[in-house]
Amino acid sequence: MSYNIAIDGPAGAGKSTIAKKVAKELSCVYVDTGAMYRAMALYLLRCKVDRENPALIGEACQGAEISIEYKNGEQIVLLNGENVNAFLRTEEVGNMASVSSANPKVREKLLDLQRKLAESMNVVMDGRDIGTTILPNADVKIYLTASSLTRAKRRYLELQEKGEKCDLDEIRRDIEERDMRDMSREISPLKQAEDAVLVDSSEMTIEEVVKSILQIFREKVILSDEVGKNEG
Ligand code: DC
């Protein structure tokens, strides 16, 4: 039985944590598309491309070849052959990714890679436009969200744990700004696909969210597969 699960939602909703756990439960592969956009952003930052200049971004991104490898179940992002995982999770890269991912040339470069991964194996893929654009026929589509305050608090605790100085209001402003950019861009904006199930994790634990997604998967994929077999 082959299947794909798409999880979309705004920054900080817990997509990657949840998607990783769901993939582990189902023994399938977790594909983090945000990391691909981050690798592209890292390349653009290294090239010192002006983020306000879409034409330059569109031109410069042609020099970045992004590919994916899996080692011990972990996704490794290769930027022109270099493993860049260690450089992707900074605020600077995240903010650049939010700007550069609105560029059609950047999206075009990553679309094929994402579709091919989903064609070649069972995946839980998370991002912003997986259910709407990348995998419109995904077997399960989840739109995972939480209030901006909840998301800011989670990020604040994460940064504090790492010993980084941070300010809750600033993080919340940053998150709301990123939501605005991701939701209002012309190409592939973040929005709930018509056939996606909305999961609001504001008042839920990670385990509760994972459980509810596995339940949706069972109903949509396993049960319908069994019905299909019985009918066949
Ligand atoms: O999920 P993330 O924070 O790692 O994503 C970084 C940025 O990349 C985010 O601001 C929007 C963009 N992105 C996108 O446009 N489409 C995706 N499928 C994944 C991420």
- What the chain holds in terms of domains, given with CATH numbers, is 1-28+129-227 (3.40.50.300), 31-121 (3.40.50.300)
Two structure tokens written together for 158: 């994460």
β-bridge mates for residue 66, sequence order: 79
Determine whether the shortest distance from the Cβ of 131 to ligand 1 is under 6 A: no
The tens digit of pLDDT for each residue in 166-214 reads: 999 999 999 999 899 999 999 999 999 999 999 999 999 999 999 999 9
d(C-alpha 16, C-alpha 13), whole Å: 9
| Summary mean pLDDT of the chain | 94
Q: Name the pTM for this structure.
A: 0.92
Beta strands in the chain (DSSP E): 4-8, 29-32, 66-71, 74-79, 82-83, 123-127, 140-145, 197-200
Q: How remote is the CA of residue 126 from the centroid of ligand 1, in Å?
A: 9
Query: Taking the mean position of all CA atoms in its chain, how far away is CA 98?
Result: 12
* Atom 5 (ligand 1) nearest CA: 34
Instruction: Say what the alpha-carbon torsion angle 201, 206, 211, 212 is, to the nearest 10 degrees.
Output: 10
d(C-alpha 113, C-alpha 65), whole Å: 10
Determine whether the shortest distance from the Cβ of 103 to ligand 1 is under 6 A: no
The tens digit of pLDDT for each residue in 139-172 reads: 999 999 999 999 999 999 988 998 988 999 999 9
Query: Side-chain half-sphere of 118: how many Cα atoms within 13 Å?
Result: 26
